[in-house]
């Protein structure tokens, strides 16, 4: 089968390539990967006006053909026809931001010089107009020598004209397509010349211009203010975490009752036996314990996505840069680390925007220390069981204070780790912090919804596969072989025997046999620890001991306070999450860094839990 | 502090806020290669008008400046290598 013609969307970051790509392709999109690199390939089909279909690919944003990150290298290699697994495009849609022509035209000039058929999308003309900038596309067309189409990607303005121009371009020149050479390193000198030419063209195309966006500056004078800026950021973060807990209460209770109802249905419909126990004690309890956290994750990501789409997030990075610089990171690490409070997996994926390799690696290695939502079930059950619900001051409960302390512990741990890593394994000059601050915008609800859905999907898929499978395996290991009368099933089972081996190692830090047993399946995901302990006690007890009340009683009866505190401290540091390890392997292209991450975090967890245990014992707790 | 320096050594680091100026010269050799490239890519070049919009507190922290129609954040060490002059401003 012959492949359809390929058209690539290319341009500076934030020019609106993806928005335009979405407007052109609609829902028919495919996400793949370029071979050998962790760069995603977004492609879709576009039907031209004459009925022919072309494949449209959305290339990563770049500033020039001189790449400084793997993403930018893919862009360069695709447009020069040297990217493995990709054919040379038949035409390029070069996307430029109308309000930023000086800068975006330079890359456009470089791209046009490659010699492929090009149509320029003069995007975001709405924002340019809002800023009082009026441009003449005809002048641009004349100066650049290629068609120029004004567009507003998010309102689908200019899309039909763009498609018409593409129809004319594609296929017209196939006979004399040239093989192109990659850029030859002399680009550095060229940039300045090109930049000057870009400025001249932009000036010629500017019909009228009022001074730069006033209200953007007004917003920035608050957001970036040396005093009010940090106060605003702290307030936003406070409101965010507050909302995560208060808004999620109701949906969490819905999910809980849905799983309880499901459990009831299964219990009524099936005779008592292994299969029923597998479904209820294994799958439903295990998956339920995880899915309950979906509302928390979604609320946190709602805030993050809105802050990102509005343009505020880069301002937050600006404010945080000073603090991050002190531990050898840059402000850019702030966004991935904030996402890691929901889940380290999207957090680690978000480190792709950090161009310095050492910075990026350090951020990946400390991301698992941010208190992700998977730790909450563990923290909340242990706190409920061992920390008295009493007030230490008006409005400040001891339980809340301990939870807060665990968050702080993670952040402090991350900063200390970054400091240590930057002096040892990820030693090197800091790449600094240099970034463009996008214009403020009203976030578009459609984009936010898509972003939320993709996060929810990742989470649910994980709950449905990794976690469901692990809980089933754990249930099986705990249920076989059957203990003879008078022996504890949890000790006699396969899992029990494995745990006895591990117990030798963790005994010095105050962990008992049940904990050793729970730690093994919790390697797949932290939240399984709770389900696992629940299952251990459920399998041993005659009565049905599911439900928090009895699990709390069980914990109180079987664990000492120092053990409980050591257990909490363990979970601040321990890298018990298979998805995080997998994504680290993918993002660092090998086993070396995930292995290092697991090693240093387990060692820290062991030492810190041990210190906590013995300190608590000596303090007579 | 700033006023004691002769005007030709004014840099983006010391340029007073909201004072319009133009890039005079960039000491490329003081910058790391990727930094220098990013700077060029963001449009820093001789003669381009710049304006400091925000500065995190004295002594450290990045600077936000306007260059062309863009707002760009950069660290002080980089800003120090960008000499600016308030004398000959190109007409805007
Ligand atoms: N107002 C307006 N916003 C746009 C337009 N095109 C894109 N955007 C927004 O600009 C931001 C960056 O766009 P995106 O497509 O992600 O840029 P990319 O980095 O080039 O892929 C997003 O928030 C878009 O919603 C446009 O024509 N007008
Ligand atoms: Mg994009």
On whether both A205 and A296 belong to a single domain, the answer is: no
| B2-85: CATH architecture | Roll (2.30)
User: pLDDT value at position B37?
Assistant: 81
CB-based contact B72 A436, cutoff 8 Å:
yes
Residue B13 pLDDT more than 70? Answer: yes
On whether both A585 and A533 belong to a single domain, the answer is: yes
Domain annotation covers residue A363 = yes
User: pLDDT value at position A96?
Assistant: 96
What's the average pLDDT block by block, 10 residues per block, for chain A (621 residues)?
87 90 81 72 90 92 84 91 89 93 90 92 91 89 93 92 92 46 44 82 84 75 90 91 83 89 89 81 77 84 91 92 89 91 88 84 96 87 89 82 92 95 85 84 86 82 77 79 76 85 92 88 82 74 51 86 95 91 87 95 97 94 78
Residue B57 pLDDT more than 70? Answer: no
Domain annotation covers residue A336 = yes
User: pLDDT value at position A183?
Assistant: 41
On whether both A171 and A237 belong to a single domain, the answer is: no
On whether both A216 and A266 belong to a single domain, the answer is: no
Sign of dihedral through CA atoms A332, A338, A340, A342?
Answer: negative
Reduced to 3 states (helix: H, G, I; strand: E, B; else coil), residue A207 is strand
On whether both A254 and A185 belong to a single domain, the answer is: no
Pairing of strands B82-85, B21-26: antiparallel
Q: How far is A63 from chain B (nearest CA, A)?
A: 6
Sign of dihedral through CA atoms A345, A350, A355, A358?
Answer: negative
Chains A & B: contacts with CB separation below 8 Å: 118
Where in A159-294 does DSSP place strands (E)? 206-209
On whether both A201 and A262 belong to a single domain, the answer is: no
CA–chain centroid gap for A372, Å, is 12
Max intra-chain CA distance, chain A? 92
Host domain of residue A134: 6-221
Q: How remote is the CA of residue A73 from the centroid of ligand 2, in Å?
A: 15
Domain boundary at A175, A194, A221, which? A221
The total domain count for chain A is 2
Q: Are A334 and A316 in contact (CB under 8 A)?
A: yes
CB-based contact A196 B45, cutoff 8 Å:
yes
Domain annotation covers residue A117 = yes
CA proximity to A135, closest of A162, A197, A143: A143
On whether both A132 and A266 belong to a single domain, the answer is: no
Domain annotation covers residue A435 = no
How much is the pTM? 0.80
On whether both A90 and A166 belong to a single domain, the answer is: yes
Encoded tokens for A532: 């696992």
On whether both A273 and A200 belong to a single domain, the answer is: no
- Rounded distance, CA A148 to CA A156, Å? 16
Half-sphere exposure of A420 (CA within 13 A, CB side): 11
Residue A154 DSSP label: G
Backbone torsions φ then ψ of A511, nearest 5 degrees: -85, 140
Q: Determine whether A185 is exposed, middle or buried from the number of CB atoms within 10 Å of its CB (0-12, 13-18, 19+).
A: exposed
Domain annotation covers residue A440 = no
- Helix A578-588 to helix A592-618 angle, to the nearest 10 degrees? 140
Ligand 1 contacts CB of residue A400 (under 6 A): no
Domain annotation covers residue A433 = no
DSSP letters, A60-109, are PP-SSSS-SSHHHHHHHHHHTT--TT-PPPSEEEEEEEGGGHHHHHHHHH
Residue B2 pLDDT more than 80? Answer: no
Q: Which residue has the tokens 């990102």?
A: A308
Domain boundaries, chain B: 2-85
CB-based contact B40 A321, cutoff 8 Å:
no
User: pLDDT value at position A180?
Assistant: 40
Residue A430 DSSP label: -
Per the DSSP assignment, residues forming a β-bridge with B59 are none
Q: Which atom of ligand 1 is nearest to the CA of A151?
A: 27
How crowded is residue A246: how many other Cβ atoms within 10 Å of its Cβ?
10
CATH number, domain with residue A163: 3.40.50.300
Domain boundary at A187, A221, A255, which? A221
CA quadruple A374, A375, A378, A381: dihedral, nearest 10: -100
CB-based contact B71 A191, cutoff 8 Å:
no
Chosen from A12, A110, A131, A195 to mutate, greatest number of chain B CBs within 10 A: A195
Encoded tokens for A336: 């991935």
Q: How remote is the CA of residue A109 from the centroid of ligand 2, in Å?
A: 20
- Rounded distance, CA A277 to CA A264, Å? 12
Per the DSSP assignment, residues forming a β-bridge with A6 are A55
Domain annotation covers residue A413 = yes
Ligand 1 contacts CB of residue A14 (under 6 A): yes
CA–chain centroid gap for A391, Å, is 36
On whether both A212 and A243 belong to a single domain, the answer is: no
Q: Which atom of ligand 1 is nearest to the CA of A444?
A: 25
Domain annotation covers residue A588 = yes
CA proximity to A433, closest of A333, A364, A340: A333
User: pLDDT value at position A185?
Assistant: 38
On whether both A300 and A158 belong to a single domain, the answer is: no
Domain boundary at A188, A221, A254, which? A221
- Rounded distance, CA A572 to CA B44, Å? 44
On whether both A379 and A508 belong to a single domain, the answer is: yes
- ipTM for the predicted complex: 0.87
Q: How far is B17 from chain A (nearest CA, A)?
A: 12
């Amino acid at each position: 089968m012959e492949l359809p013609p390929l058209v690539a969307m290319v341009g500076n970051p934030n020019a609106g390539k993806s928005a335009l790509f979405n407007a052109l392709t609609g829902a028919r999109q495919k996400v793949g990967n370029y071979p050998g690199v962790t760069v995603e390939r977004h492609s879709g089909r576009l039907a031209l006006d004459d009925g022919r279909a072309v494949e449209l690919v959305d290339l990563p944003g770049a500033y020039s053909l001189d790449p400084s990150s793997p993403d930018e290298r893919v862009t360069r290699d695709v447009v020069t026809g040297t990217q493995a697994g990709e054919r040379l495009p038949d035409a390029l849609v070069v996307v430029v931001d109308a309000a930023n022509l000086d800068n975006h035209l330079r890359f456009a000039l470089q791209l046009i010089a490659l010699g492929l058929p090009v149509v320029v999308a003069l995007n975001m003309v709405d924002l340019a107009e809002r800023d009082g900038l009026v441009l003449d596309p005809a002048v641009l067309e004349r100066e650049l020598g290629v068609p120029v189409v004004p567009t507003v990607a998010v309102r689908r303005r200019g899309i039909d004209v763009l498609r018409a121009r593409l129809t004319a371009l594609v296929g017209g020149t196939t006979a004399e397509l040239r093989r192109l050479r990659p850029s030859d390193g002399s680009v550095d000198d060229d940039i300045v010349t090109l930049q000057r030419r870009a400025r001249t063209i932009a000036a010629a195309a500017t019909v009228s211009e009022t001074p730069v966006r006033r209200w953007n500056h007004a917003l920035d004078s608050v957001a970036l203010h040396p005093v009010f800026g940090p106060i605003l950021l702290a307030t936003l973060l406070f409101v965010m975490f507050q909302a995560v807990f208060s808004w999620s209460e109701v949906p969490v209770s819905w999910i809980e009752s849905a799983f309880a109802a499901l459990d009831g249905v299964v219990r009524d419909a099936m005779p008592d036996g292994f299969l029923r126990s597998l479904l209820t004690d294994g799958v439903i309890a295990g998956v339920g314990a995880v899915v309950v956290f979906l509302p928390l994750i979604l609320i946190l990501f709602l805030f993050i996505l809105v802050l990102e789409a509005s343009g505020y997030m880069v301002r937050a990075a600006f404010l945080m840069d000073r603090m991050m610089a002190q531990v050898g990171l840059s402000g850019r690490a702030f966004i991935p680390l904030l996402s890691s409070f929901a889940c380290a997996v999207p957090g680690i994926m978000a480190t792709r925007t950090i161009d310095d390799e050492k910075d990026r690696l350090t951020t990946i290695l400390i991301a698992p220390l941010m208190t992700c939502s998977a730790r909450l079930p563990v923290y909340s059950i242990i706190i409920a069981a061992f920390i008295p619900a009493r007030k230490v001051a008006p409005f400040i409960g001891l339980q809340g204070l301990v939870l807060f302390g665990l968050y702080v512990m993670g952040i402090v741990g991350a900063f200390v780790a970054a400091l240590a890593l930057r002096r040892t394994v990820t030693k090197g000059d800091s790449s600094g912090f240099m970034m463009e601050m996008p214009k403020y915008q009203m976030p578009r609800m459609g984009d936010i919804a898509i972003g939320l859905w993709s996060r929810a999907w990742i989470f649910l898929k994980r709950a449905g596969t990794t976690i469901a499978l692990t809980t089933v395996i754990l249930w099986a290991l705990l249920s076989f072989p059957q203990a003879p009368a008078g022996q504890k099933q949890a000790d006699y089972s396969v899992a029990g025997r494995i745990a006895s081996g591990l117990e030798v190692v963790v005994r010095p830090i105050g962990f008992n046999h049940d904990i050793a047993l729970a730690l093994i399946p919790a390697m797949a995901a932290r939240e399984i620890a709770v389900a696992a302990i629940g299952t251990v006690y459920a399998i041993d007890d005659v009565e049905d001991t599911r439900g928090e009340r009895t699990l709390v009683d069980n914990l109180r009866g079987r664990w000492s306070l120092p053990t409980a505190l050591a257990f909490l401290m363990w979970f601040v540091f321990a890298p018990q999450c298979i998805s995080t390890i997998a994504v680290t392997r993918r993002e660092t292209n090998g086993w070396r860094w995930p292995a290092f991450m697991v090693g240093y975090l387990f060692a820290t967890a062991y030492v810190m839990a041990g210190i906590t245990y013995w300190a608590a014992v000596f303090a007579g707790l | 502090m700033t006023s004691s320096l002769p005007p030709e050594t004014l840099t983006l680091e010391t340029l007073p806020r909201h004072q319009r100026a133009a890039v005079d010269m960039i000491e490329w050799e003081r910058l790391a290669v990727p930094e220098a490239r990013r700077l060029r890519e963001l449009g820093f070049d001789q003669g381009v008008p710049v304006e400091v919009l925000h500065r995190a507190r004295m002594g450290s922290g990045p600077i936000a400046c306007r260059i062309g129609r863009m707002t760009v954040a950069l660290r002080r060490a980089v800003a120090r290598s960008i000499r600016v002059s308030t004398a000959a401003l190109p007409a805007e």
